[in-house]
């Protein structure tokens, strides 16, 4: 295979993983919009507030447990690169067992979790009542949701992005249809929105098991039942999950702080930050497609010990990351005010968002590398480096805001920019000067 044809082959591999995941990621906000639209037309506002509060608690729990997908992708990709089908099945079984154990823990602790969550909320009693109602129904989706994360990670680790795309699109479609049926036709209100999500998650799980059978054959279920795992077998998975969990906890702490601190600067600033954070979220949705490709292809290349393959993959991913970051920065520079007007019609919020818009012209050029490098290090199963990088970035964020707090919201966005920069810089150091350099460039692995 010539070098040009090899590059084309790699470009195609990246596209086959990245494009389906970008498409499915961009459909995720649609469900939130439908939930808001359906509940927002109910007779009292506390229904919308209850769904928003209860949904945010559930989303936080599932976000923190997102390590199930990430760790499964990295470990499966490396096992797949080594050509060990039995090892990939073992990764799947380990992930499913851990997902079921964690979902059982969530179900057992659901009462103290929701009570503790609403205790710290200043919402009205009517909103808190609806939030508890939503949470008490939605939490029963935990087994399906967590197992789905594992199955998606396993498919991605085997370079199959079509299956996760189908699962996300199918799950959202079922959820939207049931939202309309349960709320507008049956009149179940808050409980109906939650029930729609629960049924959609289990329907998605059934489809995921069908796709597993279709792609790996019926024998895979026999293999899963026959495997006997010991604690020693599961240590790499548990260690990686612990590190990714701590990394996710730090990341969530930053966004929670931005929300609370923005509120302290006034309602208009809080709303403006929400608008601008949605711009950053759009960047993350697009770059997540590249990050998913990185997880799969980097893990596969490291598992197969092909350092030249890995090096070329990294260069191609970097090219697309640079291109996308420039597109987003130029887009926000030229169309930012128009985009703000699309998201809010409130003059004061538009003015506040426009005031801080220059930060969103800079951040994509920095944050995109942090998103991509996350995928690279997950594929390399280097959770400890990810964790340590996030600790350093969190310390930088806190220090920057403390030093510049007299500038109020500008200090917040400066701290966010530094946070992303430190993530990117520390991981880049480990990639090219640190612990991963030998794995990537060692000639003996060619």
Q: How buried is 122 (Cβ within 10 angstroms: 0-12 exposed, 13-18 middle, 19+ buried)? A: exposed
Q: Are residues 325 and 196 in the same domain?
A: no
> Looking at the structure, do residues 223 and 242 belong to the same domain, yes or no?
no
pLDDT at position 29, please? 63
- Specify whether 274 is located in the same domain as 224: no
- State whether 151 and 255 are in the same domain: no
Instruction: For residues 250 and 110, state if they share a domain.
Output: no
* Same domain, residue pair 330 and 223: no
Question: Does residue 21 lie within any of the structural domains?
Answer: no
Distances (CA, A) of 183 to 36, 47, 167: 12, 11, 24
Nearest-angstrom CA–CA distance, 10 and 7: 5
Domain assignment of residue 290, yes or no: yes
Domain membership flag for residue 91: yes
Q: What is the pLDDT of residue 302?
A: 82
| Tens digits of pLDDT across the chain (446 residues) | 444 554 677 788 888 888 888 777 776 666 666 776 677 667 777 787 788 788 888 988 998 899 999 999 999 998 888 877 778 888 898 899 899 999 999 999 999 999 888 777 766 788 888 889 999 999 999 999 999 999 999 999 998 989 999 999 999 899 999 999 998 889 888 899 999 999 999 999 999 999 999 887 767 777 676 656 555 566 777 888 899 999 999 998 998 888 778 777 877 787 788 888 888 888 888 888 889 988 988 888 887 776 677 778 888 889 999 999 999 999 999 998 888 887 777 788 788 889 999 999 999 999 999 999 999 999 888 889 999 999 999 999 999 999 998 988 899 999 999 999 999 999 998 887 755 655 554 444 43
Residue 15 lies in a domain: no
Instruction: Tell me if 385 is assigned to some domain.
Output: yes
Give the end of a domain, one of 229, 262, 283: 229
Q: Are 149 and 69 in contact (CB under 8 A)?
A: yes
> How confident is the model at residue 234, as a pLDDT?
64
Query: Same structural domain for residues 205 and 277?
Result: no
* Domain count across the chain: 2
Q: Mark whether 218 and 325 lie in a shared domain.
A: no
Evaluate whether residue 368 is within a structural domain: yes
Residues 389 and 300 occupy one common structural domain: yes
Same-domain pairing of 382 and 337: yes
> Strand, helix or coil at 9?
helix
Q: Which letter does DSSP use for residue 193 in this model?
A: H
Query: What's the domain range around 258?
Result: 235-446
Contact status, residue 104 vs residue 243, Cβ threshold 8 Å: no
Decide which of 206, 229, 252 is a domain's last residue: 229
Give a yes or no: residue 20 inside a domain: no
Residue with tokens 């999950």: 241
> Are residues 404 and 315 part of one domain?
yes
pTM given for the model: 0.86
Does residue 9 lie in a domain region? no
How many C-beta neighbours within 10 Å does residue 307 have?
19
Please identify, among 192, 214, 229, the residue that sits at the C-terminal boundary of a domain: 229
The gap between the terminal CA atoms of the chain, to the nearest Å, is: 15
CA-CA-CA-CA dihedral for 77, 79, 85, 89, to nearest 10: -80
pLDDT for res 2: 47
**287, 168: one domain:** no
């Amino acid at each position: 295979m010539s070098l040009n044809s090899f590059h084309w082959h790699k470009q195609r591999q990246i596209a086959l993983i990245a494009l389906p995941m970008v498409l499915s990621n961009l459909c995720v906000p649609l469900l939130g919009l439908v939930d808001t639209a359906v509940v927002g037309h109910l007779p009292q506002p506390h229904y919308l507030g209850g769904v928003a509060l209860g949904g945010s608690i559930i989303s936080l729990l599932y976000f923190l447990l997102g390590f199930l997908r990430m760790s499964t992708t990295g470990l499966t990709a490396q096992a797949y690169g080594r050509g060990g089908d039995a090892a990939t099945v073992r990764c799947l079984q380990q992930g499913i067992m851990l997902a079921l154990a964690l979902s059982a823990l969530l179900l057992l602790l659901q009462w103290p979790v929701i009570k503790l969550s609403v205790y710290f909320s200043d919402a009205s009693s009517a909103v808190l009542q609806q939030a508890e109602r939503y949470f008490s129904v939605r939490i029963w989706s935990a087994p399906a949701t967590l197992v789905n994360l594992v199955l998606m990670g396993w498919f991605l680790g085997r370079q199959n992005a079509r299956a996760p795309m189908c699962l996300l699109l199918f799950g959202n479609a079922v959820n939207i249809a049931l939202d309309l049926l349960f709320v507008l036709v049956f009149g179940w209100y808050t409980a109906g929105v939650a029930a729609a999500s629960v049924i959609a998650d289990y329907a998605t799980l059934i489809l995921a098991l069908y796709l597993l059978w279709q792609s790996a054959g019926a024998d895979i279920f026999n293999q899963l039942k026959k495997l006997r795992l010991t604690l020693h077998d599961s240590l790499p998975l548990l260690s990686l999950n612990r590190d990714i969990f701590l990394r996710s906890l730090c990341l969530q702490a930053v966004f929670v702080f931005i929300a609370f601190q923005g509120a302290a600067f006034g309602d208009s600033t809080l709303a403006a930050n929400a608008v601008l954070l949605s711009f950053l979220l759009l960047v993350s949705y697009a770059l997540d497609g590249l990050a998913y490709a990185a997880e799969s292809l980097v893990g596969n290349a490291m598992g197969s010990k092909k350092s030249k393959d890995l090096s070329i993959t990294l260069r191609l991913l970097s090219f697309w990351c640079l291109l996308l970051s420039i597109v987003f920065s130029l887009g926000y520079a030229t169309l930012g005010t128009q985009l703000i007007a699309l998201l809010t019609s409130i003059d004061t919020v538009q003015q506040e968002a426009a005031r801080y818009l220059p930060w969103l012209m800079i951040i994509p050029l920095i944050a995109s590398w942090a998103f991509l490098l996350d995928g690279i290090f997950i594929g390399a199963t280097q959770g400890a480096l990810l964790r340590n990088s996030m600790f350093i970035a969190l310390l930088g964020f806190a220090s920057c805001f403390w030093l510049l707090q007299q500038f109020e919201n500008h200090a917040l966005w400066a701290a966010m920019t530094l946070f992303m920069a430190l993530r990117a810089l520390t991981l880049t150091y480990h990639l090219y000067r640190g612990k991963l350099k030998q794995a990537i460039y060692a000639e003996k692995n060619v």
